[in-house]
Each structure stands twice: as C-alpha cells, then as structure tokens.
Amino acid sequence: MSHSPKIAIAAIESKFQVLKKTEFRGESTLTVEGDKIAEICRFCREQLGFNYLLDLSGVDHFGEDPRFEVVYELYQMEQGEWLRLKVGVSEDHLEVPSVSGIWETANWHEREAFDMYGIRFSHHPDLRRILMWEGYPFFPLRKDFPIGGKPSEMPDVAFSEAAPLEGGPFVTVPSTATTKDREPRSRSQI
C-alpha cells in the first residue's frame, strides 16, 4: 500500500503524537516521541508503504536539551516518496527502541550510532561497537570529543606493518608502455 507524503503524515498524526512537523524543500520531517519510534516505524512500513530505511544517524546538539537526536530516513519505493522521522535523546536517558526488527539495515546503522555517540538501542540483537574496539571509553562523533583525539590504551592488534605502496598488485609500474601493458593483471601474465 502506498500513500503520498501528506496522506502518510496525516495518518501518522491521527495515530501518534507528533511533537514537531517541518516542511523544507519538498521534504517532510516529523519529530516524534522516542519511546514510540519502533511502533511508528512499523506503522510506516506496514501501513504506509515506507519499505526502505535509507539511513539512520545520530546527531549531537551540544549545549541543547535534548542533546542528541536520532534521524530516520524512510523511502517508499513504489512512488519514490521520502519521509524523515526524528527523536530527541537526552543525556540522562541515552536509549531508544531498536528498529532492526523492522528493517534489517538498521542493525549496522544503530551499531554505528551507539559506537560514535553512545546512544543505546533497546532490543537490538547485537549492540556492540562497529568501528572502535570493544572497551574504547569515548564516543568520537560527540562535539565535546577533541579534534586531536584522546589518549587511550589501544590494543596491539590495531597496529601492523605499514603496507608498501610501490609494486603492489594494484599499482602500475611507471613506464612508457601503453595503459593496457601497464595494468596489474597484464604484469602478472608476463
């Protein structure tokens, strides 16, 4: 089942509390209650046809309350319609329900938001760091994280020998030969 964004928004507003509604350059954004986001997303997918979660990301509004925000970019493939949902997340309660049971793609997006901002997603099947190592005590995309980083005890596995840039399997050898003759697969046949 598919609907235009205006019909979809009206349907959401009739069933759930919308805290804020924004229209900008033809894009609709609804700010909704964080504890209802999974229920709203399921409604958007099953009843309104938003069958694709394009992105889920964290935002740090350092100095504001709520400080954090989770943004959900929904897409309806049949009609090519977009809908953005947002939830505020306070520093006191850094948790929102997971939507990975609705869209599998949310799994890694939620893990990244957890890893970079410290936002937890309740009922996530495997909420662990995805970019930083387990035990890393900081959240690098928070605005109070210093640009130069923070000192930490990085595990030895993170360091290895530097890979040589010259002569590798995907690096061509400078010469006057044609491009075809300089391609790495051509070199391996010599």
pLDDT, residue 134, reads: 85
Pick from 16-25, 37-46, 56-65, 158-167: least confident: 158-167
Give 5's pLDDT tier (boundaries 50, 70, 90).
Answer: confident
Q: Which domain holds residue 26?
A: 5-146
Distance from first CA to last CA of the chain, Å, rounded? 59
In a domain, 34, yes or no: yes
In a domain, 93, yes or no: yes
Mean pLDDT of 103-129: 97
pLDDT in tens, 151-173: 766 655 554 555 444 445 555 55
Greater confidence, 9 or 167?
9
CATH number at residue 134: 3.30.460.80
pLDDT in tens, 18-38: 999 999 988 899 999 999 999
Q: CA of 105: how far to CAs of 19, 22, 122, in Å?
A: 26, 26, 16
Average pLDDT, the chain: 85
How many domains, in total, are found in the chain?
A: 1
pLDDT reading at 127 higher than 60 = yes
- 161 DSSP assignment: P
Cβ-proximal residues to 119 (8 Å cutoff; 6+ apart), any chain:
58, 68, 70, 89, 94, 95, 96, 113
Give 4's pLDDT tier (boundaries 50, 70, 90).
Answer: low
The answer, as to whether pTM is greater than 0.85, is: no
What is the spatial distance between Cα 155 and Cα 120, in angstroms, rounded to a whole number?
Answer: 24
